[in-house]
Amino acid sequence: MTKSHPVVQWAVMNIRSDTNIFLAVALGEPEKDNIIQLTSASDAIAPEILPYEIGNALTAMVKRKQLTHDEALSAFDAASSIPVRLVSVDIKKALKLALDYNIYAYDAYFLQCAIYLSTPLITLDKRMKKIAHDLVKTIRSNASIDWAVKDSVRAKMRVLIKRILKKYGYPPDKQEKATQTVLSQAELLCHAWAA
C-alpha cells in the first residue's frame, strides 16, 4: 500500500473502500470485475489501518483453513499493489460512531474516513451498505433547503432516522446519540450536496 498515487493520474472522484473490497479483488472473488469496473475512474481512499486490517483478515482466513500460508502472503502482495491513498482518522470520532451505531471500531474507522472526506462508500458488508443506503435515501428525500433550521422539518427527520436505527436493531438507549450524530452528518452532507 502506498500513501499516494505518484503514477495514477486518472482519478475522477474519490471513493472510500473498506477491507472487504481490497480482499475481494486480491482473492479473485466473484465481485472482483464489478469492483474494478465501479472504481476504475476513482481514487481509492482508506484509513491508515487498511494494511493491518487486510493482514488480520488474511490470518483469520488461514486459521479457518480457507487459505494456505502461501495464498495469504500472495493475497497480501496483491492487495498491497492496489493504488490507495491512506489517510489518518480521528479515532475518538470513529469510536463515537462505533458506540452510537453499535458497530465494530474497525468498521467505524472506514465510515469516519468517508464522512470526514465526504466520499462515497464502497463495501461488500451488506448491513453497513443497507444502513448507509437507507440513511442517505431518507436524508435526501426529506431534506429541504432550510431543514436544519426549521424545527418541524428537523423533528420529522429525527423520527425517520430513529425508524431506520430501530429497523436495524440499534439499542433504544443509544438511538438518541446516534440520531444526533446522523443529523450532524446530514447537515454536512446537505451543505456538500448544495455546493
Q: Indicate the range of 57-61, 135-139, 163-167 predicted with least confidence.
A: 135-139
Question: How do residues 25-45 score in pLDDT, each as one tens digit?
Answer: 999 998 888 888 878 777 888
Residue 93 has pLDDT above 70, yes or no: yes
Question: What letter represents residue 27's amino acid?
Answer: L
Higher pLDDT, 15 or 155: 155
**Average pLDDT for the chain:** 77
Cell numbers at 169, concatenated? 436493531
**DSSP secondary structure code for residue 1 in this structure:** -
The correct CATH number of 13-124 out of 2.40.40.20, 3.40.50.300, 3.40.50.1010, 3.30.70.20 is 3.40.50.1010
CA torsion 148→17→117→39, rounded to 10°? -100
pTM score over 0.85: no
Question: Length of the chain in residues, anyone?
Answer: 195
Residues 35-59 have a mean pLDDT of 88
Q: Please give the Cα distance from 169 to 36 (Å, whole number).
A: 33
Q: pLDDT band at 5, cuts 50/70/90? A: very low
SS3 of residue 170 by DSSP:
coil
**DSSP secondary structure code for residue 3 in this structure:** S
Q: Show me where the domains of the chain are located.
A: 13-124, 128-194
Q: Indicate the range of 2-6, 31-35, 88-92, 105-109 predicted with least confidence.
A: 2-6
